[in-house]
Amino acid sequence: MNTVQVSCRSCGKPNLSTILSLGKTPLANALLTGEQLEEIEQTYDLDLVFCPSCSLVQITETVPPEKLFREYFYLSSFSETLLRHSEENANRLIQSKNLSHDSLVIEIASNDGYLLQYYKRAGVPVLGIEPARNIAQTAEERGIPTICEFFDAQLADKLIVDGKRADVVHANNVLAHVPDLNGFVHGVQLLLKNKGVSVIEVPYVKDMIDRHEFDTIYHEHLCYFSLTALDHLFRRHDLFIEDVKRLDIHGGTLRIYARKQNKDSNVRSAVVDEMLAEEVAWAGNEEFYRGFGEEVERLRGALVTMLSGLKAEGKRIAVYGASAKGSTLMNYFGLGRPLLDFVVDRSTIKQGHYTPGTHLPIYSPAMLLKEKPDYVLLLTWNFADEILQQQAEYRKQGGRFIIPIPELRVV
């Protein structure tokens, strides 16, 4: 059953302030089969709000995780950029934490083993926790031991009884998906060894606002974090953030390193203090978020005008990326047929399906060379460099890409 949030997901305080309403949209990753096109498609309110008390930005409607994540269409291993990012992360931690065959690395929302494979290759024991049945099975087939469950404090307790406390707990792009933030972070605290470290990556809300990344907003992403909001949340559960890094991946990411609080090791990097001090100027300031909606409307007008003009000239326009981001953008901007012809995506589990709301067919990227559309709207713009390189032959034959975010441009 869906629930509507009237108090903050982190601190529990009321009086949330609306930043942007994206109306009613379908679930961003709910790709359709041909048979489902005739069925009535469910839609849900998508409203972004701000908590003045702890600075957390969040959406108000919670769709049950069982509905969102038990069958999933995103495989991390299809992104070469993400694989390189993950390998570097794993190698750095193996060296800095002296991880060995006596260690244990656990990843929450481990997907298809895209990250844990690099620890396993180095001889470090691993355990994945992944609620999507189809993806957990894929990880197991790749030799990554995986528990097919949602993570919470109760699962952490069970793992501890089984002797599985972790030297490293990874949680990449999952904290934003969690309805019970406090239960999740408490579970991480339980799961860590006394000298263990949790390494958590989340989209950075300042980058989302500055770069007009409204397409990051969809029902799977319940929360959008500043370091200030994370600091409030983690302190509540006796974890302190000892270091933070700003990363470019996914349009702007924070990677935090958090440990259990104790009198001997509560020393944090100067970078954490500097970023918290910088955030004082905006993280808790409602005015910072007010111009976001206006920028989104400006972008909508510019993109729709461009696509309509090209279509009037007889140009064919395809889409690259059957992504959640793309679903938000196409549905809120009212894009689909007749402006757009079809979608391509590298993920084989998406091919043969149709996009939610807009009902465009999804093919392999090979379709670009077969059909030769004049333009391709690149909705997985966060992997633009990788995709433009992969599509060198299409571009050589005259094909052009439209990149909508952070600013509309054609390459």
What's the CA gap between 21 and 321, in Å, rounded?
24
Q: Is residue 406 domain-resident?
A: yes
Helix extents (H) in 313-347: 324-333
For residue 44, is it within any domain?
A: no
User: What's the confidence (pLDDT) of residue 35?
Assistant: 94
CA distance 100 to 124: 5
Residue 13 lies in a domain: no
Full pLDDT tens readout for the chain, 411 residues: 677 888 999 999 998 999 999 999 999 989 999 999 999 999 999 999 999 999 999 999 999 877 887 666 666 777 888 889 889 999 999 999 999 999 999 999 999 999 999 999 999 999 999 999 999 999 999 999 999 999 999 999 999 999 999 999 999 989 999 999 999 999 999 999 999 999 999 999 999 999 999 999 999 999 999 999 999 999 999 999 999 999 888 778 999 999 998 766 567 889 999 999 999 999 988 889 888 988 999 999 999 999 999 999 999 999 999 999 999 999 999 999 999 999 999 999 899 999 999 999 999 999 999 999 999 999 999 899 999 999 999 999 999 999 999 899 999
pLDDT for residue 72? 62
Residues 321 and 214 in one domain: no
Task: Provide the CATH number for the domain around residue 173.
Answer: 3.40.50.150
Q: Identify whether residues 374 and 299 lie together within a single domain.
A: yes
Q: How far apart are CA 242 and CA 267, in angstroms?
A: 6
Same domain? 197 vs 298: no
Together in a domain, 285 and 300: no
Query: Quick check: is 90 in a domain?
Result: no
- Check whether residue 300 and residue 241 sit in a common domain: no
The tokens describing 189, both together, are 């605290």
Helix ranges, 142-219 (H): 153-161, 181-191, 205-210
Q: Which two tokens stand for residue 180?
A: 């019970």
Same domain (yes/no): 385, 298: yes
Report the alpha-carbon distance of residue 323 to residue 310 in Å, rounded: 23
Strand 375-378 and strand 317-320: the pairing is parallel
Q: Which DSSP category does 315 fall into?
A: -
Res 293: pLDDT: 86
252: region left, alpha or beta (phi > 0 left; psi from -120 to 50 alpha): left
pTM of the model: 0.89
Residue 10 lies inside a defined structural domain of this protein: no
pLDDT of residue 60: 94
Q: Which domain holds residue 355?
A: 293-410
One domain for residues 157 and 280: yes
**What are the C-alpha distances in Å from 319 to residues 104, 220, 298, 368?**
42, 22, 21, 10
Tell me the CATH number at 375.
Answer: 3.40.50.720
Same domain, 284 and 332: no
Both 275 and 305 in one domain: the answer is: no
Residue 281 in any domain: the answer is yes
One domain for residues 245 and 205: yes
Residues whose CB is less than 8 angstroms from the CB of residue 347 and which lie 6 or more positions away in sequence, other chains included: 73, 74, 75, 78, 322
Is the separation of the CB atoms in 79 and 107 below 8 Å? Answer: no
- Measuring CA to CA, which residue among 325, 331, 328 is closest to residue 379? 325
Locus of tokens 């579970």: 187
DSSP 213-230: -GGG-STT--EEB-HHHH
Beta bridge partners of 18: 49
Domain endpoint, select from 290, 311, 338: 290
Q: How far apart are the first and last CA of the chain?
A: 44
Kindly state whether residues 283 and 321 are assigned to the same domain.
no
Number of domains in the chain: 2
The answer to whether 335 touches 362, Cβ cutoff 8 Å, is no
Q: Which helix (H) or strand (E) holds 193?
A: strand 192-203
Q: Which amino acid is at 286?
A: E
Of 256, 290, 324, the one marking the end of a domain is 290
For residue 175, being part of any structural domain is answered with yes
281 and 163 in a common domain: yes
Assess if residue 355 is contained within a domain: yes
- Which pLDDT value is given to residue 250? 78
Alpha helix ranges (H) inside 254-365: 270-279, 286-290, 292-312, 324-333
**Domain final residue, candidates 273, 290, 307:** 290
Measure the CA–CA gap between 200 and 202, rounded to whole angstroms.
7
Phi, psi dihedral angles at 360 (to 5 degrees): -85, 140
